[in-house]
Structure 1
Amino acid sequence: MRLSPLLVPLFGVACLPTIAAAQSSSSSVLLEEVVVTAQRREQSLQDVGLAVNVLTGSNMLENGVTTAEDMSAQVPALEVGGGGGANTTFFVRGVGNFTVNGYSDPATAFNYDDVYLARPTSAKNMFFDIGRVEVLKGPQGTLYGRNATAGAINVIPARPEIGVVDGYVSGSLGNYSSHNVQGAVNLPIGDSSALRISGLSAQHDGYMTDDTSDEDIQAARIQFLTDLSDSLTIRLAADYSNSGGKGSGASYDGHYALNFQTGEYTYVPSGLDDDVGMFDPEAQAYRSQQFFGLSGRTADPLSDKIYLDDTYYGANAEITYTTAAGTLTVIPAYRKSELDNLFASPAFYGFIQEDDEQTSLEVRFASERIGLFDLILGGHYFDETVDGNYTFSQQALAAYQDFESDTESTAFFVDATANITESFRAIAGVRYTSDKKNMDGQADVYLVQCTNFTMFGPSCPDATLLPLTDSADQLGSPFIVPTIPGPFGATPVGTSDAVLTWAPTPNHSSRKSEEVTWRAGIEFDITQDAMLYATYSTGYRSGGFSLAYGFETFEPEYLDAMTLGLKSRLLDNRLQLNLEAFYWEYTDQQIAHTGVDGRGNQGLFVENIGESTNQGLEAEMVFLPTTTTRVNAVVQYLDATYDKFVFTQPIGATPPLTGCDAAITGSVYSIDCSGQDAFQSPEWVVNLGVEQVIPMGDFEWVAKLDTQYKDERVIGFEYLEHDMADSFWRTNASLSFAPTADSWSITAWVHNIEDERQPNTAPVNTGLALGNVVYEAPRTYGLRFDMNF
């Protein structure tokens, strides 16, 4: 089987060139060039002086990548997890957040088909019929739509080709009743136009015993490309997708038992297996033994009602006009998300009803050479409205949030490359950004509080806990909803010794921020096949709002990054060796987390509480020792430590649940996590892979093996015992058979041969002092059939 752009799996590394020469030939075997647009021009990846990794469409297809979470095993610098419901969380080299919502921006910019997607929920259902995915590491303060501190992920779909009739179908069946069918067809329309239609259907049963952590994705995309003249090209695109099923599940890892006399917590493991979901009878029995300190009674079981029904659609255009002076590109876009999901991975319900709507326009001009200079200049306009209705139902507490947030962002940028000599280039870029934001919303928190205290704490065993509802008006008997906030508005809960209290937090705020970000760098061609580069870049993420008392607003965060790199091809283009050293300084860090607000109520908010230094090395190697063998490796070393990480929490009935140092300072606890490892920042990540082609006349066998090692890492905000994930190896293998004509192939594959469930995130329910863990997939295996036509 020849390693075509469709059928070659590029396992184990961030970017693997294909073998360009024929496998059966005795002539020289070469590494194929990979073309990227990371700097808004088409360039060979080896000629780009940036910290960027690339996954080709064959990576995505062969590895069964259908969601953003699947990319973590492919790019050592990237950690992607499920944030509950439709949310996706991104960390790049320790920069990111565990929790996301409709009124905070992600640290990593996600761009689909050159369009910035503001909501992390929108980073779903894009991964089919892909040309490539570019992962840019570090702040993006010049060329990209919205500023981002961690980096950018650019998902670029395969595009129509004029004058070509072709397509493909790929179908896979596996355990957990999985199926993954995707395909595309490219059709010429006359001599100057083309249509490309592609689609995806991916499903599997739940990986947990309660059938959670399943998948049910349906998606389609249509593109029309036309050359109106030799200089004017227009491409129109539209897409639609839906996510269904139950969504992400979790397992009870254990609970933190409080000694009321000493004020210390002891971690008690649950004893449940990793795959026992929270709705499993065994897990429900365990939950019913846990005590709500606030309400003075044990928890009720959870009702198995969780679901996903999230719809995404959009339309965009790309208008390209080429002149003797350069190329003008105009990209208007519209996107809409309609979210309706109920999740329970933190051991309480999150009920999300949200409509997101955004429009954007990017205009940029890439010049032809002007003297020494290549110039890119342009502007970007973005407008978004989020209409959200959230319920966070924790039985002892229910938080209802209704809000509308608006964001308007305008940016202008210029990026210049001075070609000082044939082998030396200087690069400089600057961007001005103006962000305007408005929040109009209110959070209403209702608490069932026990008023009967004993020497062992509160005791209200007969108190009724709060049910899951869409609003407080639906609570019903025995709840009498208070009309006055605070303790004076407390109303009895039936005949028990518990009362219902109400704490409203309105937020009607506006803010504007302006920032100039920039980058500077040099590129030096040591030889024709080796380049040394160095860059310094700055980035910022705008501030915003929260619906939590005392945390209504937060300020922007900033990251400065220095990178020194080498890209090289050796041994007559059979060995690729790329090296990168980086040093990042992160200030005024925004941390989004579930915590205790200024009134002592649990809530979800963002605050500026951190500064960190993130530094390390990454080395990538691809070697073709023979015409039929490829070996690859990527190694990343990361030292990411919080230099300053301090926040406060009101003094309550129980000490704060944290693994950091906590001391009473006046009327609050001061919690100091300084010196801790940054979140999701394993010290070592190693990806290794080997591919062997075995010719058999007119047919070929292709055997592949790849493995990833990931070091210990922190996967939860509180630095508790269950937040610490152990190191692991995860190995995949496949065996393919196909004719050398490359018209079809059949592949047997297995992922996670070790069958170890790797923890991804570790939410905590502070009301019950429960530690939960969300796990990645177990061992999966199956057969795939691919056909080109």
Structure 2
Amino acid sequence: MMHNADQTGKSRQFSLSSLSGAIAIATAISSTAYAAEIEEVVVTAQKRAENLQDVPIAISAFTGENMEAMGVENLTDLGKFTPGVEMNNDTPLQPTYSIRGIQTGDFTVGSDPAVAVYVDGVYTGRGAGAEVPLADIERVEVLKGPQGTLFGRNATGGAIHIITKKPQADDTTEVSLTAGNYGRQSSDLLLNKQLADNVYGRMTVSNNRRDAWADNLAGGFNAGNQDTQTYRVSLLWEPSANTEVLWRANYGVMDQGSALRSSIVPSLQALDGGTSVFGDYALDTPTIEDRDAFGTSLTVTSDFEDFTFTSITSYSGFDAHLQQDEDGTSLADYKFGSANFDDQTQFSQEFRLNGASDTFKWTVGASYSQEKLEHLTEAYFTSGSLESFAVYEGLKGNSAAFGIPQDVFDSLSQTEQEDMAVQVRQAMMMGGQEGLAVSNFVYQLLAGSGQLDQALNLGAFGLTGLTASQNLNPQDMVAQLMRGIQPWVMADAAWNENVLNTGDYRSAAIYGDATWSLTDRMDLTIGARYTADEKDFTIETAYQNILPLTLGGPVELVNLPAGYPVQGTIMLPTVDAGIPMGLAFFNNGQPMLDSELSDSWSDISGRIVLDYRWNDDVMTFISLADGFKAGGFNSLNFGPGVEASFDQEDVVNLEIGMKSSLFDNRVRLNTSVFAYEYNNLQELDLVGTPIPSYNLRNSDAEGTGAEVEVQWAATDNLFIAGNYSYLDTEFTRFGYIEAIGETAEDAAARVGQPRVSTPENKFNLMAEYTVPMTSGADLVFRGDYNWTDERIGSISDPTRIIEDYQLLNLRAAWNSASDRYSAALWVQNATDEEIAGGYGGTGAAIGASPGWRYMPRMYGADFTVRF
């Protein structure tokens, strides 16, 4: 079914008919059979190995085997089935991770993410380096709520920890092949070998290719295809019974088309041959996603009599090129493309000591990291794009000038406003008024900034004491501007801009965390971390384009001083001039911006947790924790009245939870309720006048919610699991920037509104049934169902709603008796739901908002052989 970007009706009730029916039948059949136990999961959320059920933190943990059965390939797939979590990597080089509604949507390098991603204990500072294929993975831990004590800065929302498998003391070879629709071809090769009595090696090679699932009607290139190769190698050396040295290295190559974004504006879809978000598309900016990434780490662990020492040293980096079509059309009059080039390296060192006795467990540590980066942002337009932008901005500012009452225009949704702007633009073209909107816009811009007076010095014509902006008839001047601008707009001349950033970020921290056993059943945990961040940052950009101006001819004098000797209409000499200007990086009228910036932030974050074990099977806990994310810099532009840097953000979270293993460990029930307050939330938005630009402002927000996870080993053959999350978020203060045209009234209107991309309800259900065969082999049938509530899809337009959706994945697998061979048939999005991932984006600046979708139905087969 089609999902309209602006439909605001009630969410449909999720349907479980087919899957719940199958579960009911399976449950009835199994009621007399012997029940198995749920397997224990060991996690390292508190920097030491513990049973998941003993950790007083809300955690969703997934083993590698479980993710394979779910058909999970990346973190986005995992996020769909994790309560309270949303992950989107339609653009793998700019992924977004949201835990309990906390995320940062900044695609530049001036800020840091709000959810920390770790791979084998090493923090990955940029999203472009965080997306790794989930092949040969031991487990993934998703820690919810601020993790400032043990995981440090930039974990205000939580932390995601990916743990790869270590080399083992055996010789193993495993080959996995996958084939599917849309040309899907994937392969994984695993080699594990014992090289000596105390040395073990492991290597993984992964390859993933898939074609685009829709056609580009404009031709020339594809979007949304995949092509990645990843190589991992690790060596484990055990020089003594108490010491382990583990070296890891990885290298990855990505060379594919970027995300498929298509226009959601009906009139633009029609002009583009009937494209849609859920069908074929038409783009004119080639989509590119290239990345070469590498990383290496050395982990040394030594056990002493009273403590364990751990050292993790790492160095990593990547070169990346991301290019996208921001308007979602192939129309030259709406061309808006962007490109980001990144060169990043990062070094980190952590030292940690762990100790434990019967009544006391403790961890102390220190860490240091340095990140160096260079980031180039480019934007591609045409002179026709500037006309489309001017029409859209003109309607928003004075629609009556176009014959449309302002209250009527203001009552429309953003998509309807953009659609009306397209229709007005087309009518102006048919009426020979191409370039009129730009001429009006340029006149107001130049007159307001004084640039018009500089370009046309009336004193040089003998008109002393007069200014062009005050004493020349505006209509005459617009008509004169039209002479040079109209042919320029009609030619759709190229208009490209760029801005360069560099950064040198350092962070140091010390931390400690201790757990006391107050009684046999009650533990008290107290932890704290001191973090100090320093950042050096540069921004360099200049106006790289010239607006052609041809002035001269008859013009009426207005607003003349009393008794001025010249009256009526005069003839101005012809003046050919050009005005430097920026559309993407306007800089508030500054023709050149070249700044070196420095700032620092520090914070003490901590946690206090009290847990009580009612018996061997049930534990409850209450925790108070806070997290800290360093401030940063507006990367694209800033100007008078707009701060170059923005404040750090802090969050405080109160949580009450329960973890239980019931009925002889046949049922696992974990629940939590939480409430948090967010101060100085860093929000990126497209704001400002006369030309909108991206700026980060600080706001406040709060959230409350609840999560439930259930696992049930109904029989030896039937396993059922489900989870539900509820989340209610709202702004309690919305920051506004007066210097770029925002008002206190605008900000007040946003107070009480929910955060973007945070569904209120989310529900998952899984059932897996194993059929033993007489040969010793087995068949495994599995279904995974997800329902996600509607949510706001655009920060600039809270009425733009993404509809709720449901997702069903099915899998049937066969495993040989020797476990040497495995084969599976699978289908993802089995009902071929048309699911919108998001609406809006930078294309909204010119009235051409795009949208993107989740993948349509995907099906295929896996085959694995082990030697």
- State whether TM-score is above 0.5: yes
Q: Which residue number in structure 2 is paired with residue 590 of structure 1?
A: 682
Greater shift in the superposed pair: 138-147 or 426-435? 138-147
Name the structure 2 match of 1:508.
596
1:784 counterpart = 2:862: yes
**Residue segments in structure 1 that go unaligned for 5+ positions in a row:** 1-11, 13-22, 258-267, 281-301, 454-478, 491-500, 653-661
| Residue matched to 1:575 | 667
Q: Is the 8 A contact 1:308 1:342 kept in 2?
A: yes
Alpha-carbon separation, structure 2, partners of 1:316 and 1:737? 37
Shift of residue 307, structure 1, vs aligned partner = 1.4
- Decide whether the 8 Å contact of 1:635 with 1:685 is kept in 2: yes
Give the whole-Å Cα distance in 1 for the aligned partners of 2:801 and 2:518. 50
Q: Is the 8 A contact 1:309 1:341 kept in 2?
A: yes
Give the equivalent residue in structure 2 for 1:220: 231
1:729 pairs with 806, 815, 828, which one? 806
1:81 to partner: Cα distance = 1.7
Deviations 1:696-724 (A, max 9, x none): 21222211111000000122221255x41
The aligned counterpart of 1:99 is 106
Q: Is this contact kept in 2: 1:89–1:99, CA < 8 A?
A: no
Q: Does 1:133 align with 2:133?
A: no
Q: Which residue in the other structure is 1:166 paired with?
A: 172
Whole-Å separation in 1 of the counterparts to 2:152 and 2:175:
33
Q: Which moved more, 1:406-415 or 1:227-236?
A: 227-236
2:611 is aligned, of 523, 534, 540, to: 523
> In the alignment, does 2:856 pair up with 1:766?
no
Q: 1:646 to 1:219 in 2, by over 3 A?
A: same
Q: CA deviation at 1:55?
A: 1.6
Structure 2 Cα separation of the partners of residues 622 and 564 of structure 1:
20
Residue equivalent to 2:556? none
1:542-568, CA deviations, whole angstroms, 9 ceiling, x for partnerless residues? 001113212411000110001111111
Query: Radius of gyration: which is bigger?
Result: 2
Q: Deviations over 1:610-663 (max 9, x none)?
A: 2111111111111122110011110111111112224246678xxxxxxxxx86
Sort the Cα spacing of 1:447 and 1:43 in 2 relative to 1 into closer, same or farther, 3 A: same
SS for the counterpart of 1:527 is: coil
Aligned-pair CA distance for 1:672 = 3.4
Match of 2:530 in 1: 432
Equivalent residues in 2 for 1:450-489, closer than 5 Å: none
State the alpha-carbon separation in 1 of the partners of residues 826 and 167 from structure 2: 30
Match of 2:339 in 1: 351
Residue number among 232, 240, 246 corresponding to 2:243 in the alignment: 232
Q: Answer yes or no: is the 8 Å Cα contact 1:574–1:625 preserved in 2.
A: yes
Which of 50, 55, 59 is 1:48 aligned to?
55
Cα deviation 1:259-306 (Å, max 9, x = unaligned): xxxxxxxxx9997432345535xxxxxxxxxxxxxxxxxxxxx34x22
Partner of 2:507 in structure 1? Answer: 409
Displacement of 1:695: 1.8
The structure where strand makes up a greater share of residues is 1
- Secondary structure at the aligned position of 2:519 is classed as coil
The Cα offsets for residues 651-692 of structure 1, whole Å up to 9 and x where unpaired, read as 78xxxxxxxxx8687xxx657321111122111100001111
Give the direction of change, closer, same or farther, for the CA distance of 1:413–1:560 in structure 2 (3 Å limit): same
User: CA contact under 8 A between 1:254 and 1:270: conserved in structure 2?
Assistant: no
SS of the residue 1:766 aligns to: helix
Determine if the alignment matches structure 1 residue 704 to structure 2 residue 796: no
| Corresponding residue SS for 1:672 | helix
Q: Structure 2: which 5+ residue stretches go unaligned?
A: 1-18, 20-29, 217-221, 329-335, 387-494, 552-575
Query: In structure 1, how many angstroms separate the alpha carbons of the residues matched to 2:597 and 2:682?
Result: 18
Match in the other structure for 1:20: none
Partner of 1:265: none
Distance 1:253 1:353 in 2: 27
CA contact (8 A) 2:259 2:287 kept: no
1:125-169 alpha-carbon deviations (Å, 9 max, x no partner) = 3422111111111111111153421111101101111x2122422
Find the counterpart in structure 1 of residue 363 from structure 2: 376
Identify the residue that residue 705 of structure 2 maps to in structure 1: 616
* Distance of 2:763 and 2:582 partners within structure 1: 54
C-alpha spacing 1:431/1:277, structure 2 compared with 1 (3 Å):
farther
Q: Structure 2 residue aligned with 1:194, among 200, 205, 215?
A: 200
Conserved? CA contact 2:290–2:321, under 8 Å: yes
Deviating more after overlay: 776-785 vs 712-721: 712-721
Kindly indicate whether the alpha-carbon contact (under 8 Å) linking 1:122 and 1:337 is maintained by their aligned counterparts in 2: yes
Counterpart of 2:755 (choices 674, 678, 683) is 678
**C-alpha RMSD of matched pairs (Å):** 2.9
Distance (whole Å) between structure 2 residues aligned to residue 373 and residue 418 of structure 1: 5
In 1, Cα distance between the equivalents of 2:248 and 2:577? 53
- Contact kept, 8 Å, 2:323 with 2:340, in 1: the verdict is yes
The yes-or-no answer on 1:557 pairing with 2:649 is yes
SS in 1 for 2:66: helix
| CA shift for structure 1 position 102 | 2.0
My pick for the range that moved more, 552-561 or 123-132, is 123-132
In the TM superposition, residue 180 of structure 1 has moved relative to its aligned partner by: 1.9
CA 1:439–1:663: 2 relative to 1, 3 Å: closer
The DSSP-based 3-state class of the residue aligned with 1:61 is helix
- Determine helix, strand or coil for the equivalent of 2:319: strand
Q: Look up the equivalent residue of 1:221 and give its one-letter code.
A: R
Q: Which moved more, 1:84-93 or 1:60-69?
A: 60-69
Question: Is the Cα–Cα contact under 8 Å of residues 35 and 714 in structure 2 kept in the other structure?
Answer: no
Displacement of 1:98: 2.7
Structure 1 or 2: larger helix share? 2
Match of 1:296 in 2: none
Query: In structure 1, what residue type is equivalent to 2:500?
Result: D
Matches for 1:441-456 after TM superposition, within 5 Å? 441-445=539-543
Question: 1:173: how far off?
Answer: 0.6
Conservation of the 8 A alpha-carbon contact between 2:625 and 2:653? yes
Q: 1:376 to 1:271 in 2, by over 3 A?
A: same
Change (3 A) 1:551 1:98: same
Please state whether the residue corresponding to 1:740 is helix, strand or coil: coil
Say how many residue pairs are matched: 680
Return the match for 1:310 from 285, 291, 295: 291
Q: Distance between the aligned counterparts of 1:141 and 1:751, measured in 2? A: 36
Q: CA deviation at 1:197?
A: 0.4
Contact 1:427 1:522 in 2 (8 A): yes
- State how far apart, in whole Å, the 1-side matches of 2:605 and 2:577 are: 53
Tell me how far apart the structure 2 counterparts of residues 125 and 611 of structure 1 sit (CA, whole Å). Answer: 32
The SS at the match of 1:691 is: strand
Tell me, in whole angstroms, the C-alpha distance in 2 between the residues paired with 1:66 and 1:737: 20
TM-score calculated relative to the size of structure 2: 0.74
Query: After alignment, is 83-92 or 112-121 more displaced?
Result: 83-92
Tell me if structure 2 keeps the 8 A contact 1:250–1:277.
no
- Give 1:626's aligned amino acid: T
Whether contact under 8 Å (2:92, 2:131) holds in the other structure is: no
Question: Which residue matches 2:822?
Answer: 745
SS in structure 2 of the partner of residue 558 of structure 1: strand
Shift of 1:444: 3.0
SS at match of 2:833: coil
Do 2:545 and 2:581's aligned partners in 1 also have CA atoms closer than 8 Å?
no
Query: What residue is the counterpart of 1:16 in the other structure?
Result: none
Structure-1-length-normalised TM-score: 0.81
Q: 1:428 aligns to what SS in structure 2? A: strand
Q: Aligned to 1:336, which of 289, 299, 317?
A: 317
Describe the superposition over 1:162-181 as per-residue Cα deviations: whole angstroms up to 9, x where unpaired: x2122422211100101221
Amino acid at match of 2:192: N
- In the other structure, the counterpart of 1:476 is none
Alignment of 1:222-261 (within 5 A): 222-254=233-265
Q: Which deviates the most, 440-449 or 52-61? A: 440-449
Give me the whole-angstrom Cα distance separating, in 1, the residues matched to 2:293 and 2:748.
40
Which of 682, 695, 701 is equivalent to 1:605?
695
* Greater Cα shift, 393-402 or 26-35: 393-402
The CA distance in 1 between the partners of 2:770 and 2:90, in whole Å, is 40
CA offset digits 1:215-248 (Å, max 9, x no partner): 1110010000010112221000100001111121
